[in-house]
Amino acid sequence: MASFRVTGGQKLRGEIIPQGAKNEALQVLCAVLLSPEDITIEKIPNIRDVNKLIELLGDMGVKITKNGPESYTFNAESINLDYLETGDFLAKASALRGSVMILGPLLARFGKGKISKPGGDKIGRRRMDTHFTGFQKLGATFRYDKKKEIYHIDGSELRGCYMLLDEASVTGTANIVMAAVMAKGKTTIYNAACEPYIQQLCAMLNRMGAKISGVGSNLLEIEGVTALKGTTHTLLPDMIEIGSFIGLAAMTQSEITIKDVQVQRLGIIPEIFQRMGIKLEINGDDIHIPAQKHYEIETFIDGSILTIADAIWPGFTPDLLSIVLVTATQAKGTVLVHQKMFESRLFFVDKLIDMGAQIILCDPHRATVIGLDRKYPLRGIRMTSPDIRAGVALLIAAMSAEGTSVIDNVEQIDRGYQYIDQRLNALGASIQRIE
């Protein structure tokens, strides 16, 4: 198990390019199963979750060609469906949350699928109902083996239909869209997720020959086609990484320019950090964060305490609430952070409290952060990364703290951020990886 030894108090300076979007990568990689032709994907991040999915696709029979550090070509002409029956497949799929999205393509193209109960971050219960209810409405039948925790799905007769999703699940929407693109007839999905990742997936599928309209809205209409062809696709820059770098710059009083962020695809993210008092200079597709000794959290118009909560797109992504929370500890003012979607994602705040932060954990979903305007800097401690996003929040805290911190279980961070220690060290950070 690897650890980071972080010497705090280093001010960073320079330019950094965000990696390709992890959450988009997991969707479009699963989509390569829909076509027997070559599909080239650019800007693939070299992170653990993505690499595991690529490995799983290879085990299923996908031919994989690495064209460069961030470019791969996939060919799924010969898929070994018998591999789905093996213990090796079930073990690898269960270790990766994103693997559930292979089901939609398998049902669409081959009429059947099988997967074990997916794992992933320990951030709370993430149910599968939206995925399976959508498949059922398209005509699939499934059974769940409780003893082995395996789902068996028969999608040999998928037909288009109207469905109203019970929640605007991003992975659920992606899975259902991929199942519906080759179903017979027309499918209408209402209350669909409309995150940029979904928009990118739909754009890719349309280039492959799918007929999806309403992209960017919560009402998608899909006319089924009989086959899909190959394409080339480029991932968006990772909005979670971009938000993390903004918070990092503010916490460490650093001057950083984040390059090529595609500002128009970031939604409300820049505005939320501006409400935290962080100065952002947007120059084309670059965001420059000047060094700030002080930043002050806004209040609501009536003077009441600001609340920042996650919401479905175009609301604020839950993946950045941990960054907002840690950034607020050194601000001037108070903010209530409300994590609505996952009941365990705030359980890292005890480490921040040990470092000297003033935080009241109200309940599993809400925390009040009292920013003391850097009067009492955080102090270095030893801690463990519980999940990807909390791990980066703790890394940011350690980089701003006095003294040295050790963060254990950084494999969690590696699942979502490529070469994060090397990239930040290039800007002046002091992060040592200990294997």
Lookup result for tokens 């994103």: 98
Comparing C-alpha atoms, which of 21, 170, 199 is closest to residue 104?
170
Amino acid in the structure at residue 317: T
Q: How would you write the chain as a 3-class SS string?
A: CCEEEEECCCCCEEEECCCECHHHHHHHHHHHHHCCCEEEEECCCCCHHHHHHHHHHHHCCCEEEEEECCEEEEECCCCCHHHHHCHHHHHHHHCCHHHHHHHHHHHHHHCEEEEECCCCCCCCCCCCHHHHHHHHHCCCEEEEECCCCEEEEECCCCECCEEECCCCCHHHHHHHHHHHCCCECEEEEECCCCCHHHHHHHHHHHHCCCEEECCCCCEEEEECCCCCCCEEEECCECHHHHHHHHHHHHHCCCEEEECCCCHHHCCCHHHHHHHCCCCCEEECCEEEECCCCCCECCCCCCCCCEEEECCCCCCCCHHHHHHHHHHHCCCEEEEEEECCCCCCCCCCHHHHHHCCCCEEEEECCEEEEEEECCCCCCECCEEECCCHHHHHHHHHHHHHCECEEEEECCHHHHCCCCCHHHHHHCCCCCEEEEC
**Catalytic, out of 121, 310, 319, 387:** 121
Active site residue 121: yes
Phi/psi at 194 (5° precision):
-130, 25
Kindly list the distances between the CA atom of residue 207 and the CA atoms of 64, 180, 228, in Å, as whole numbers in the listed order.
Answer: 21, 16, 9
The residues that are catalytic are 121
